[in-house]
Amino acid sequence: MPNRKFIPIALLIIVYFVAAGLYAALTPPWQAPDEPAHYNYIRQLAEGDFPVIEAGDYDQAY
């Protein structure tokens, strides 16, 4: 039988992974707040450029 003081921690971890899984499964593609920024960053690296992030390069709402 597991030690009782670990049960709340285990439940919290389970709830976290369920919530994270639901968020990942239910968020439509390209709708996560920073998805376009990650894509553009990796695209520039793949093209051999080093991205320079400046003010105005991304939507400040995120």
Domain ranges of the chain: 4-46
Give the CA dihedral 36, 39, 41, 47, nearest 10 degrees: -140
pLDDT at 61 over 80: no
Q: Which tops the pLDDT comparison, 6 or 3?
A: 6
Longest CA span, the chain = 56
Q: What is the mean pLDDT of residues 16-24?
A: 95
Residue 59 — pLDDT band, cuts 50, 70, 90? Answer: low
For 27-45, how does the pLDDT look when each residue is reduced to its tens digit (9 = 90+)?
888 777 777 778 888 998 9
Asked if residues 37 and 58 have their Cβ atoms less than 8 Å apart, the reply is yes
Q: Which residue has the tokens 């690296």?
A: 45
